[in-house]
């Protein structure tokens, strides 16, 4: 169990914009930050972070909450895992009791897989650095590759002994279940025998964006032709090869800062670049690039530079991934190394300044690179040249942005010495729909405007829902404030008519709202709003100065999500710096008492209407004579509504 004091310390120290900034590229937007949703595939940012309130809201998926809620949603952490992650990030000491073997077995499957991988990672590191075979074989190999001890420790490189069961026996002896050793792929089980999957290999742990070990890559050091040179962990509940990039944990901050990501193929390419000083680099780990991996980069930047080995075969095999990047609306540049060189060897032989200069001078826009590569193949063969042009246009057709698409077509026309009309025609053949959209503007300008009848009516507004939600918003934003309220007391005048007499009194907003609702016996019909209402009122009664951030951190995830939605919607439509344009909007705080009063009065009027309708229905359905008492009630409610209408200065 983690103590409440420790949890409070974590919440008071952690900054939501810093934590989320490790996973999402955020840009300043007024007093808030905006970015692309990490939960959906979007091109217009709808993800908002409020440093003031220490909350976030993703308007594309509807998710929201505090810093812990983000880690639970994005990294699939449990609540204690999220607290531990934040404690580690901010250097907060946290007490944890040692788990027994029985407790390990009762962990949920996902957490158990993480625990097994963490144990294996420490074991492989220890074997590399602390055993004779590890130092003689594994450590020697890494040093031959030019890796320093600091780099080896930073990337947590390790070694698996050339023994059939060394790791498995160690893990079982430490209390880890064979079931989870098999599910992570660390141990192979055949009938009654067990084998270490990574026997005799140097180990590269594969981390998630938050730093958790998802799986491993192992490189064999012998010349056994029957064994694969590289071996990866099999797919599991926590490891999906197509959804992770090697090095993303170490590169994420640099990618966001540099606003560019270098994409390579292998583990050693990433490590060597990082050691040289270029840290915004990740690898697809030898697999074909996938849309999920591209979207992972897209959270941090829209610019990718693909680095190819010097051999022509490798370039042609890898260039197919560019179309996938273009489909995601990202900007692509390409850089190849001299023949016989790869990112690893080139970085090892050059200084940071030399490497950075080479990348800058030799990175080409994808269309120039692809054109030069394919033209070289085509040479003077007209048929091959036609195929080359079609292949380039095929790539351009993947670009979702119409302006970029047209610019690239013109660039292709210039490079390949062919008319734009032919290229547009080719594009039309490849994607008729896209071509029609590109040319629609020419025909639309000459058409008269047409009145289009709506196919269906707008959905009916739930008035009570909106008013109840507005009350919750007022309590969250202004519940702690003190205001002068002008109350209206219902009294009879000398002629016996009802009149509203104004009485001014000072009160906290939450007290005013609570007493008004209690006085009229008005109840929330929405269960979620009802829970929120009593939670907020109880909290403010105990501590009127309780902050919204503390409140969000202390309630259930369901309530926290709804609170965040309400708070961030208020931020979403907030006006920023209009005063610079000589426009002076009226802030809510200036007329807060009026806002509170009008919201309560509007709810009263709505409920009066509902009551009158009920009486009218009773009267119509009654087969007996009209009940005089009911008519009297209707008359009284109608009179009260007229008074409230005058008070609100509008017809109801």
Task: Classify strands 230-232 and 32-35 as parallel, antiparallel or unpaired.
Answer: unpaired
In this predicted structure, which of 199-208, 460-469, 636-645 has the lowest mean pLDDT?
Answer: 636-645
Beta-strand ranges (E) seen in 541-582 are: none
Q: Which of 195, 210, 239 is the last residue of a domain?
A: 239
Q: What is the mean pLDDT of residues 641-650?
A: 54
51: its two tokens: 């440093």
Q: So what's the pLDDT on residue 492?
A: 67
Across the chain, mean pLDDT equals 80
Most confident of the ranges 149-158, 301-310, 574-583? 149-158
Residues 6+ apart with CB under 8 A from 649: none
Q: Which of 209, 204, 208, 210 is nearest to 236 (CA)?
A: 208
Residues 478 and 606 in one domain: yes
How far apart are the C-alpha atoms of 228 and 235, rounded to whole Å? Answer: 17
Residues 614 and 636 in one domain: yes
Q: So what's the pLDDT on residue 245?
A: 94
How far apart are the C-alpha atoms of 194 and 177, rounded to whole Å? Answer: 13
375: its two tokens: 């033209």
For 283, list phi and psi in degrees, rounded to 5. Answer: -130, 150
Range of the domain at 508: 463-568+588-648
Q: So what's the pLDDT on residue 538?
A: 84
Tell me: pLDDT of 578 over 50. Answer: no
Q: So what's the pLDDT on residue 233?
A: 94
pLDDT in tens, 209-222: 888 899 999 999 88
How far apart are the C-alpha atoms of 314 and 169, rounded to whole Å? Answer: 41
Task: Classify strands 261-264 and 281-283 as parallel, antiparallel or unpaired.
Answer: parallel
Q: 140 in a domain, yes or no?
A: yes
For 194, list phi and psi in degrees, rounded to 5. Answer: -125, 145
For residues 38 and 187, which has the higher predicted lDDT (pLDDT)? 187
Give the count of alpha carbons within 13 A of 306, CB side only.
Answer: 27
Tell me: pLDDT of 311 over 50. Answer: yes
3-state secondary structure string, 304-345?
A: EEEEECCCHHHHHHHCCHHHHHHHCCCEEEEEECCCCCCHHH
Q: So what's the pLDDT on residue 577?
A: 47
Tell me: pLDDT of 635 over 60. Answer: no
354: its two tokens: 């030399």
383: its two tokens: 């048929």
Q: Which of 19, 5, 75, 76 is nearest to 49 (CA)?
A: 19
Confidence of residue 325 (pLDDT cuts 50, 70, 90): confident
Residues 125 and 62 in one domain: no
How far apart are the C-alpha atoms of 351 and 353, rounded to whole Å? Answer: 5
For residues 340 and 616, which has the higher predicted lDDT (pLDDT)? 340
CATH classification of the domain holding 68: 3.90.580.10
Q: 313 in a domain, yes or no?
A: no
E strand or H helix that includes residue 118:
helix 109-130
Residues 469 and 524 in one domain: yes
pLDDT in tens, 101-133: 665 554 578 888 999 999 999 999 999 999 999
CATH classification of the domain holding 145: 3.90.980.10
3-state secondary structure string, 21-60?
A: HCCCCCEEECCEEEECCCCCCCCCCCEEEECCCCEEEECC
Residues 393 and 533 in one domain: no
Q: 160 in a domain, yes or no?
A: yes
Q: 278 in a domain, yes or no?
A: no
Residues 121 and 211 in one domain: yes
Q: What is the mean pLDDT of residues 444-454?
A: 46
Helices (H), 339-498: 343-349, 352-362, 366-378, 382-396, 402-416, 420-430, 432-444, 463-478
Report the share of the chain in percent with pLDDT over 90.
28
Residues 44 and 186 in one domain: no
pLDDT in tens, 133-172: 999 999 999 999 999 999 999 999 999 999 999 999 999 9
Q: So what's the pLDDT on residue 156?
A: 97
Tell me: pLDDT of 31 over 90. Answer: no
Q: What is the mean pLDDT of residues 579-607?
A: 67
Contact 152, 142 (CB under 8 A): yes
Contact 311, 341 (CB under 8 A): no
**Residue 207, helix vs strand vs coil:** strand
For the chain, how many structural domains are there in total?
A: 4
Contact 355, 347 (CB under 8 A): yes
Q: 319 in a domain, yes or no?
A: no
In this predicted structure, which of 321-325, 392-396, 456-460 has the lowest mean pLDDT?
Answer: 456-460
Q: So what's the pLDDT on residue 462?
A: 80
Give the count of alpha carbons within 13 A of 481, CB side only.
Answer: 15
Residues 6+ apart with CB under 8 A from 271: 147, 151, 155, 157, 247
Q: So what's the pLDDT on residue 582?
A: 47
Tell me: pLDDT of 418 over 80. Answer: yes
Q: So what's the pLDDT on residue 159?
A: 97
Sheet holding 158-159, edge to edge: 158-159, 201-207, 213-220, 230-232
Residues 378 and 503 in one domain: no
Confidence of residue 488 (pLDDT cuts 50, 70, 90): low
Q: Which of 169, 176, 175, 156 is nearest to 199 (CA)?
A: 169
Residues 634 and 496 in one domain: yes
Provide the Cα torsion 111, 112, 118, 124; round to 10°.
Answer: -160
Count of other CB atoms within 10 angstroms of residue 640? 16
E strand or H helix that includes residue 517:
helix 509-519
Tell me: pLDDT of 448 over 80. Answer: no
Q: 625 in a domain, yes or no?
A: yes
Q: 300 in a domain, yes or no?
A: no
Q: Which of 2, 29, 13 is nearest to 67 (CA)?
A: 13
For residues 517 and 588, which has the higher predicted lDDT (pLDDT)? 517
Residue 230's DSSP bridge partners are 219
- Specify burial of residue 637 (Cβ count, 10 A radius: 0-12, 13-18, 19+): middle
Contact 25, 48 (CB under 8 A): no
Q: So what's the pLDDT on residue 262?
A: 96
Q: 415 in a domain, yes or no?
A: yes
Q: Which of 136, 118, 197 is nearest to 164 (CA)?
A: 197
Tell me: pLDDT of 235 over 50. Answer: yes
Confidence of residue 575 (pLDDT cuts 50, 70, 90): very low
Residues 50 and 116 in one domain: no
For residues 541 and 331, which has the higher predicted lDDT (pLDDT)? 331
For residues 603 and 268, which has the higher predicted lDDT (pLDDT)? 268
Tell me: pLDDT of 94 over 90. Answer: no
For 351, list phi and psi in degrees, rounded to 5. Answer: -80, 170
pTM: 0.66
Q: Which of 186, 205, 239 is the last residue of a domain?
A: 239
Residues 80 and 18 in one domain: yes
461: its two tokens: 């507004």
Q: Which of 54, 89, 124 is the last residue of a domain?
A: 89
pLDDT in tens, 380-406: 777 877 887 888 888 888 887 788 888
237: its two tokens: 């509940």
Residues 126 and 217 in one domain: yes
Confidence of residue 534 (pLDDT cuts 50, 70, 90): confident
For 354, list phi and psi in degrees, rounded to 5. Answer: -70, -40
How far apart are the C-alpha atoms of 284 and 278, rounded to whole Å? Answer: 17
């Amino acid at each position: 169990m983690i103590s409440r004091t420790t949890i409070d310390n974590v919440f008071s120290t952690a900054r939501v914009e810093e934590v989320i900034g490790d996973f999402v590229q955020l840009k300043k937007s007024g007093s808030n930050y905006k970015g692309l949703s990490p939960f959906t595939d979007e091109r217009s940012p709808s993800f908002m972070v409020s440093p003031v309130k220490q909350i976030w809201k993703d308007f594309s998926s509807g998710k929201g909450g505090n810093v812990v809620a983000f880690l639970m949603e994005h990294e699939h952490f449990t609540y204690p895992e999220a607290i531990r992650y934040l404690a580690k990030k901010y250097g907060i000491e946290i007490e944890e009791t040692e788990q027994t073997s029985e407790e390990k077995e009762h962990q949920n499957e996902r957490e158990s897989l993480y625990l097994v991988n963490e144990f294996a990672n420490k074991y492989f590191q220890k074997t590399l650095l602390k055993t004779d075979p590890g130092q003689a074989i594994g450590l020697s190999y890494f040093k031959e590759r030019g890796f320093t001890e600091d780099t080896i420790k930073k990337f947590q490189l390790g070694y698996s002994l050339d023994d059939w069961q060394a790791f498995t026996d160690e893990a079982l002896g430490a209390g880890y279940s064979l079931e989870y050793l098999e599910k992570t792929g660390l141990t192979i089980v055949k009938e009654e025998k067990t084998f270490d999957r990574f026997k005799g290999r140097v180990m590269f742990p594969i981390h998630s964006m938050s730093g958790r070990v998802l799986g491993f890559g192992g490189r064999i050091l012998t010349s056994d032709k029957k064994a694969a040179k590289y071996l990866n962990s099999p797919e599991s509940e926590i490891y999906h090869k197509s959804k992770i990039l090697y090095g993303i944990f170490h590169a994420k901050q640099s990618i966001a800062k540099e606003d560019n990501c270098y994409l390579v193929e292998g583990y050693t390419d990433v490590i060597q670049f990082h050691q040289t000083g270029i840290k915004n680099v990740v690898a697809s780990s030898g697999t074909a690039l996938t849309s999920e991996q591209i979207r992972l980069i897209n959270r941090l930047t829209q610019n990718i530079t693909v680095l190819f080995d010097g051999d022509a075969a490798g370039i042609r095999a890898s260039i197919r991934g560019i179309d996938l990047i273009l489909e995601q609306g990202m900007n692509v540049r390409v850089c190849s190394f001299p023949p016989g060189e790869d990112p690893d060897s080139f970085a090892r032989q050059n200084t940071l300044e030399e490497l950075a200069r080479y990348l800058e001078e030799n990175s080409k826009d994808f269309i120039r690179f692809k054109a030069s590569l394919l033209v070289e193949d085509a040479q003077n063969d007209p048929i091959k040249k036609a195929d080359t042009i079609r292949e380039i246009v095929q790539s351009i057709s993947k670009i979702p942005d119409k302006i970029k698409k047209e610019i690239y077509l013109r660039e292709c026309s210039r490079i390949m010495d062919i008319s734009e009309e032919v290229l547009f025609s080719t594009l039309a053949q490849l994607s008729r729909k896209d071509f029609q959209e590109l040319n629609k503007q020419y025909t639309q300008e000459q058409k008269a405007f047409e009145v289009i009848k709506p196919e269906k009516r707008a959905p009916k507004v739930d008035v009570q829902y909106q008013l109840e939600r507005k009350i919750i918003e007022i309590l969250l934003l202004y519940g702690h404030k003190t205001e002068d309220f002008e109350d209206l007391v219902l009294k009879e005048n000398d002629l016996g008519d009802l009149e509203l007499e104004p009485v001014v009194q000072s009160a906290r907003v939450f007290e005013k709202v609570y007493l008004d609702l209690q006085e009229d016996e008005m109840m929330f019909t929405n269960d979620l709003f009802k829970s929120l209402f009593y939670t907020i009122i109880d909290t403010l009664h105990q501590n009127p100065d309780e902050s919204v951030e503390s409140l969000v951190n202390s309630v259930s995830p369901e309530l926290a999500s709804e609170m965040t939605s309400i708070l961030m919607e208020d931020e979403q439509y907030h006006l920023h710096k209009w005063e610079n344009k000589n426009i002076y909007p009226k802030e809510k705080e200036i007329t807060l008492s009026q806002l509170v009063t009008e919201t309560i009065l509007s709810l009263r009027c709505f409920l009066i209407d509902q009551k009158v309708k009920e009486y009218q229905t009773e009267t119509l359905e009654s087969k007996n004579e009209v009940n005089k008492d009911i008519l009297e009630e209707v008359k009284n409610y109608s009179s009260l509504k007229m008074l409230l209408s005058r008070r609100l200065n509008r017809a109801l």
